[in-house]
Structure formats: C-alpha cells, structure tokens
Homo-oligomer: A and B are copies of this chain.
Amino acid sequence: MAHILTVLGLGPGAREWITPEASEALGAASDLVGYRTYLDLVPELKNTPRRHVSGNRVEIKRAREALDLAASGKRVVLVTSGDPGIFAMASAVYEVLEKEPSSWPGVDVRIIPGISAMQAAAARVGAPLGHDFCVISLSDIRKPWEVVENRLVHAARGDFVLALYNPASKTRREQIKKAITLLLEHRSGAVPVVIAQNLGRAGEQVLITRLDKIDPDIIDMRTVLIIGSSQSREVERADGSCFVYSPRSCGG
C-alpha cells in the first residue's frame, strides 16, 4: 500500500474553521510537521502525534522532511494555516517531487483545502470578493519585483478587486508602499480597503479604510489586504455599522 503525505490547511486560525476532513486527518496522524506558529494552532489531539517543528522560510527542507517521514511509514500531516494550495506548503512539496523524481516513489500526496485568509477577511466585513478578483503575493523573495509590479498594473487595468498576501514583514517594508503608489496611478484613492490581521486568533483586527489612507506602518506578515475595484462600495447602515461589498453586476 502506498504511503501518504497529507498536506493540510487549518484555515486562518479559529477552530470553527477547521473542516471535518482536516480534523479527521489530524486525528489519524502519527507525525505532524510544520512551522511552530501553525502547529500551535492545532487543537489538542487524543492520538498525540509527534511534532516536528521547523522555522519559517525553510519550506523546501520542511517538505523533504515530511516526505522522508511518510516514506518511512509514518502517517504524516504537514500543517499550514489557511489553504495549503494558496501561497502555502503544497507548492513546495510538488516542487521537491518534480526536482527529485526518483526519491519518494512510494509516497502519494493528499491535499486538504482550508479557508484562506482573504475569505475570512471578506466574511468579517461583507462581500468584497463578490466579483472578479486577483490574488497576489507581494513577496519578492522568490520572484523579481518587476513581476509583482506587472501583475499589480494588469490587475488594476482589468479593474479587479485585489487580495494581497505577504504584504510586508519586519524587513520587507517598501513593497506595500510601492504597491499602493502604483495602484493609485490606476484607481481612485476612494476605493474601500479591508486590512485584516490575526483572523480567528488572539488580536484579530479588521479595519475598513480607503486606498489613499492606508497606513503602511501597521501592515505586517500576518496581514491580508483586500483592495476594492471601482465598483466596490462601503455602505453605512442606519445603526452606524458599515459593510463593504462588490456588486455582482457592473457597467461597461
């Protein structure tokens, strides 16, 4: 029988977003592999799997370790937050498998999807992703900044809503500023923006602002931004509460 490496997304952090499929896989695991922050989000498990903690930014090493453990017969779950298929570990696992085709021949990979941060952020404020949108990582660690800029420009020209992942870190402070400047060349500063941090975790904060009023200093690596299209609207209700949504229809 083939060994299986399960790559699993917990969702943004709250237990109520962990799917039954993910819970079942966690409950059957002998070994969990993951970045410490994500392993800390795993609920207590009766099966008490062994935990293999790794640092951030060592995705390839972590993918190899998980594949090795699976090849040795362990029931391994590689844990990520959000959806493993969206800017997370699934791609790193397949990258390793492509580069080393003769390693791990007996290991099948199973991906378990999860709620991604943009979905939780959208749900907190309304329906900003209710119409066509683009999802872009602002990290230029593994791609040239020119590629990011080109995508931002085309997303803006296509009048897409944008969901921005990895907008900043302690050391990457300029990317989000450059992105805002670039988007303001193509889009009104008045479009609504959602800034969401620590979704479903302690310190959750969701802020509604506008493109020309984003404070880049508050943006960190646990932030996801949703930037409205020309059609997206912030609406105030009679009780003073606000929602942001993107209509299903739009003018020509």
Contact = CB atoms under 8 A, between A and B. Distances in A.
Contacts of A11: 19
A20 to B, nearest CB: 5
Contact of A122 (B113, B128, B238): B113
A116 interface: yes
A44 interface: no
A114 interface: yes
Nearest to A241: B108
The DSSP consensus for interface residues of chain A is mixed
A134 B143 CA distance: 18
B252 A147 contact: yes
B109 A243 contact: yes
A95 interface: yes
A87 B238 contact: no
Nearest to A236: B101
A15 interface: yes
A112 interface: yes
Given A123-B85, A123-B113, A247 B91 contact: yes
A50 interface: no
A158 interface: yes
A71 B98 CA distance: 55
B155 A119 contact: no
27 contacts: A16-B19, A16-B21, A17-B113, A18-B19, A19-B19, A86-B129, A90-B127, A91-B127, A91-B131, A91-B248, A93-B127, A94-B127, A94-B245, A98-B235, A105-B238, A108-B241, A109-B126, A112-B123, A132-B136, A132-B137, A134-B134, A134-B155, A134-B158, A144-B251, A146-B252, A150-B157, A154-B157
